[in-house]
Each structure stands twice: as structure tokens, then as C-alpha cells.
Chains A and B, each alone.
Chain A
Amino acid sequence: MTINKKADGTELTVSLEGRLDTTTAPELEAEMNSCIDGLTKLTFDMAALDYISSAGLRVLLSSQKAMNKNGSMIIKNANDDLMEIFEVTGFIDIFTIE
């Protein structure tokens, strides 16, 4: 998986590419832990993300919880497969998906 970060002040866009699963989720988690403090807007661009597993959802949930305190989190460009996963797991109600 490839993680690209683009910061603009306190706003951050994270572009994900490939598969976010048990193997790659810890990588994203480490990345998010290091930069999430003080962000007011966090955007996940999932245009190039093929798959997300429960471990990946966990990282997104952690980020969502952290952002709930002092900002907002947006998920965009999720493909149909991802949307189905969000729907099945109920995450569709938790995340702001554009």
C-alpha cells in the first residue's frame, strides 16, 4: 500500500493506494498517530484504494474518534466495493462520505 500525505495548514489529505488490510493497517496507524494531533480537517482520498479489511476500518475508526474531538474527517472517492464494506459494517453511518 502507498500512503501520500498532503498538508495545508491544519488540514491534511491522505491518499491511499492499494490494499488496506491486516498487513498494511499498522503502517497507516503509525502515520496517523504521528500527525493527527492539531488537525482540523482530515480527508482520506480512497480513489486508488482497492480493498479495506476490518483492521483498516479500525484505523479509520480511531482517526474518526480523534477527529471528533476538535475537527472533522471526510472520506472521498471510495469505490463501490469499499462503499459496500462501509455499508455492511455500518461505518456508512459513522463516516462523512463524499
Chain B
Amino acid sequence: MFQNRREGLALALPAAVFACVVFLVPVAILLSEGFRGAAGFSLTPYVEFFSSPLNRAVFLRTLKLGALVTLVAAVIGYAAAYAIVNLSPANRGRVFGLVVLPLMISPVARTYAWLVILGRTGFVNQALTLVGLTDEPIRFLFTETAVFIGLLQLFLPLMIISLISALENMPRDAVPAARVLGASWLQVFTRVILPLTKEGLVIGGTLVFTGSLTAYITPAILGGSKVLMLETLLYQRVTVANDFASAAVIAMILIVMSFSANLLLKRLARARGR
């Protein structure tokens, strides 16, 4: 490709310098706050953070919702992506456009729409009452359910796009071949589709999980302070208590969780591939 390594490095240098100056250095400065004690380096802020029952509950809730959103997005995403890649090229383009469309709308607008849809007089409650599933309106807003729905809607397109890309690269005759050889649909999925599209799942899963961990607007609007997540707790620590040490601890936890999720998904993909 390049005549020597220097040319490659020279081309990458501007982007590397930019990323270093505007991203890595500020992040490093911020995160270092979390390791600062009265006498230099200290893990005290981390110990203090995890010794609080509230913080532990918020950490577990964030982890649980992130994992749940990723899992459900993967299930729905596979079904949707498989259906889309099997459409005619013209229809595929149209449906793909519909999948991408929500990404072009502000998350604030999308989340506010859920305030109306999930309200006591909103569409969901009206539909449930109409079909006789409930007499009284169910309270969805400001619950974990609302945050889950909001996050799923927010990040599902990323999973579908990743899986469409992976499914398109899969040999077209792999599924028919497996079916001809007597595999059930479950076997087709676990033994053929999943191994051949695992890279897409890793990318989509990482994007959805990381997005769910770090989204602020959706948990803030649909969950409020009754459903505190790590990101809303971080905002609270900075804006109210001016406590940058706790904020740095939370930021570090979020980064570690994101990288861990990526590593875990890669490992799972490798294990399945063996």
C-alpha cells in the first residue's frame, strides 16, 4: 500500500493529533480527578462511591437496563434485518430508509414523543383500555419500563443497520442449504446465521450497550430522578454538588463498562465460532 511506514504515519498524524488534543488529553485530565486523594494518588473516591447503597443500586440498574436493551435489540434486530435483506432491492432501500429515519430526528424530540405516547391519556393506555386489558390507565412514565422503551427505540436502528450489513455479506445460499439438509429454523439461526454474522452482532451490541449506558436525555425525561441512571447521577454530582471527583469515578465506570461489553461480546463471538 504505502512505500514505507512513514507515509502511512504521516497521513494518520493530523487525525491522531486532533484526537489527542481534543479528546484523549481532556478525558485523561477529567479521569485523573477520580484518583486524587488528600495525599496524591488514591482509590478512596472509588471506595466511597461503591460504599453508598444508592450508587450501587444506580450502577446495577444502569447495567441491567443496558444489557436488557441490547438483548431485546438483538432479538428484534435479527428478525427485522433478516426480513429486510430478503426484500427486493427497491423495497429494501425504502425500508432501510425508514430504519435510518429516526436517527435523523433529535433524541430530545423522539423522547418527548414518548411522554405523550406513554402518558395516562396516551396512545398505549387508550389501546390497552380499548382491547380490555386494563380498566385503569397504567402508569408507564417515570418508570424503568419507560426508560427501557425509550432507549430501545433510540438505539434499535443501530443494531438493525449493523446486522443488515452482516447479513448482506453472508452467502445467499447458506440458509436454503441448511434448510434442505434438514435443519430447523432454530438450528439455522444458531448454527448458520449467528456464526456468520457475529461481527455485526458485536458491533451492533457494542453500539447499543454503550449508547444505553451513556444516553442522558432519555433517562432524564422518561425516568426522572425516580429512575436514576449513572449518567443522570453524574449530571447531578457536577451541577448540584460541584463534585468532580465523583463525576470522574462515574465517567471511568461508564468507560470500563463500555470496553468490557465490547470485549465480552467479542469473546462470545469467538467462542461460538470455534
B is a partner of A: no
